[in-house]
Amino acid sequence: MTRTVLVTGGAGFIGSNFVQMLREDRPDWRVINLDALTYAGNLENLTAVEADPEYTFVHGDITVAADVAKAFAAGGESGVSDVIHFAAESHVDRSIASGLPFVQSNVVGTQVLLDAARERGVQRFVHVSTDEVYGSLGKTGFFTEETPLSPNSPYSASKAGSDMLVRAVHETHGFPAMITRCSNNYGPYQFPEKLIPLMIANAREDKALPIYGDGMQIRDWLYVRDHCEAILAVLERGSAGEVYNIGGHNEYPNIDIVRAILKHLDKPESLIEYVTDRLGHDRRYAIDARKIEETLGWTPRYTFEQALPMTLQWYQDHDGWLQNVRSGSYRDYYSAQYGA
């Protein structure tokens, strides 16, 4: 069945991986990408699809109703059948420095998008959320879909707020929305402010690798392609009103990740520098993904041991991409066209 999918935030890390996957795996679907091109949006992530006639880029902000209307209008007479909502401010450290942009994009933007999608009778709406809405775990246990929300950072609080708005539009209006809550992603096109690409970039330049606190915080790592496939499974087979946790069964303390990167790049551990801890730093995340595995038949295809070397190789093979992002020149790529 031909579908027209509106992806928000498709110029970011996960969104750009998702857009490329859709064009490859669902070639008869049309894709519209609405992205504000904040510091995290990079059109160089999408060079593989930019000339594709079934792909349309709309430069716009999800908090601005006119921009959202423009993106829906790009669906033409048949309209937009589905929305996959990635667009968000996504970095915890930035939210600690300044929370307001997170409330604007993540909370206000989600409501603007939901209103527009409901008015236009969109058939499926997938809201891409995060395991961080559940807060922090002790040494044992896992987040299930029933775990109470207990966000600890302005980022996770704003994502929890957006989740509640999505829940409310389903409960109130019967709008066919679903929520996914995934663990930490890694892979191609991740902005090098996040742990894995930052450590790769610094190690390659023999710069210090900053480890917050004791480095024993645990994250549950999932290769980005697995996350994208899980979102597609939810879009195609998920039930309206449901929440689906997504995780990779790959729990590692940060220090082990950094040591693995240094070993792979043949760099010394003396590059590691312990620095002041992140404020309110969540100690451990771990996902119970049985619901999506048992009801939708999704399972991750990659272990961390397989996909970390693939990721390191990708950054080595895409040195130009990394340099453009690190120097800031990636913004020149579109500033001439969009004035952003």
Binding mask 56-75 for ligand NAD (x = CB under 6 A): -----xxx------------
- Rounded Cα distance between 72 and 27, Å, is 20
For the segment 287-326, give every residue that binds ligand NAD (CB under 6 A).
Answer: none
Closest CA to 147 of 134, 136, 158, 160: 134
Query: Total residues contacting ligand NAD (rule CB under 6 A)?
Result: 30
Q: Does 37 bind ligand DAU (CB under 6 A)?
A: no
Q: Which is nearer to ligand DAU, 82 or 131 (CB)?
A: 131
Radius of gyration (Cα) for the chain, nearest Å?
A: 19
The token duo for 222 is: 């999932």
Question: Does residue 164 sit in helix, strand or coil?
Answer: helix
From the list 75-83, 85-93, 97-105, 144-152, the region that binds ligand DAU by CB under 6 A is 85-93
Q: In the bound complex, what is the minimum distance in angstroms from residue 53's beta carbon to ligand DAU?
A: 32
Burial of 18 (0-12, 13-18, 19+ CB in 10 A): buried
For the segment 111-130, give every residue that binds ligand DAU (CB under 6 A).
Answer: 130
Q: Does 95 bind ligand NAD (CB under 6 A)?
A: no
Q: Which is nearer to ligand NAD, 128 or 260 (CB)?
A: 128
- Rounded Cα distance between 32 and 56, Å, is 5
- Rounded Cα distance between 293 and 296, Å, is 6
Q: Given the residues 44, 61, 89, 131, select the one marked as catalytic.
A: 131
- Rounded Cα distance between 201 and 329, Å, is 16
Q: Does 40 bind ligand NAD (CB under 6 A)?
A: yes
Q: Does 211 bind ligand DAU (CB under 6 A)?
A: yes
Q: Which are the contacts of 325, defined by CB distance < 8 A and separation ≥ 6?
A: 42, 191, 192
For the segment 215-244, give every residue that binds ligand DAU (CB under 6 A).
Answer: 217, 219
Catalytic (active site) residue 223: no
Residue with tokens 């771990």: 286
Cα-Cα end-to-end distance for the chain: 36
Q: Which residues bind ligand NAD (CB under 6 A)?
A: 8-9, 11-15, 35-38, 40-41, 61-63, 86-90, 105, 109, 128, 130, 159, 182, 184-185, 191
Q: Which residues bind ligand DAU (CB under 6 A)?
A: 90-92, 130-132, 183-184, 194-195, 198, 210-212, 217, 219, 254, 278, 285
